[in-house]
Amino acid sequence: MRRLSGLDAAFLALETPHSTGHVGGLSILDPSTATQELNLERLISVLEPRLALVPVMRQRLVDVPFGLDQPVWIDDEYFDVEYHVREIALPKPGNDEQLAEQVSRIHARPLDRAKPLWETYLITGLEGGRMAVYTKLHHAAIDGVSGVEILALLFDLTPEPR
pLDDT value, residue 64: 86
| Predicted pLDDT at 48 | 94
Residues catalogued as catalytic: 139
pLDDT given for residue 147 in this prediction:
65
Supply the pLDDT for residue 161: 65
Secondary element (H or E) of residue 59: strand 59-62
CB 90 within 8 A of CB 125: yes
pLDDT value of position 99: 98
Q: What are phi and psi of 44, to 5 degrees?
A: -65, -40
What lies within 8 Å, CB to CB, of 20 at 6+ separation is 107, 108, 109, 110, 111
> Of 1, 10, 2, which is closest to residue 140 (Cα–Cα)?
10
pLDDT for the residue 139: 86
Instruction: Give the integer Cα–Cα distance in Å for 21 and 17.
Output: 11
10-residue mean pLDDT profile of the chain (162 residues): values are 79 82 90 88 93 91 86 95 97 94 95 95 96 92 69 70 66
Report yes or no: 73 and 1 within 8 Å, Cβ to Cβ: yes
Is 5:88 a contact under the CB 8 Å cutoff? no
Which pLDDT belongs to residue 1? 78
Give the model's pLDDT for residue 13. Answer: 80
